[in-house]
Amino acid sequence: MCGFLCLLHSEDFKKLSIKNISSNRVLSATQDSSGFVWLGTDEGLNRYDGHSNKVYRSNIFDDKTISGNRVW
């Protein structure tokens, strides 16, 4: 079964060492058209540009932040 699924979704993967990531438990990952790697964790949203990481977290006192820290 895995062989079939792996063939359907055969993309290149790179191992990244990202400092200051919000959590080691990554729930989702994607790369946008600008090249940023976005990682959703159980402790916030991370944007990695290849050199540094920016963490976005929820703040109940600031409505311009993300709505919750668990990002799927």
pLDDT tens digits for 41-66?
999 999 999 999 999 999 999 999 99
Instruction: Name the pLDDT band for 5 (thresholds 50, 70, 90).
Output: very low
- 32-65 per-residue burial string, b: 16 or more CB within 10 A, e: under 16: eeeeebebbbebbbbebeeeebebeeeeeeeeee
- On whether the CB atoms of residues 69 and 58 are closer than 8 A, the answer is yes
Domain locations along the chain: 15-72
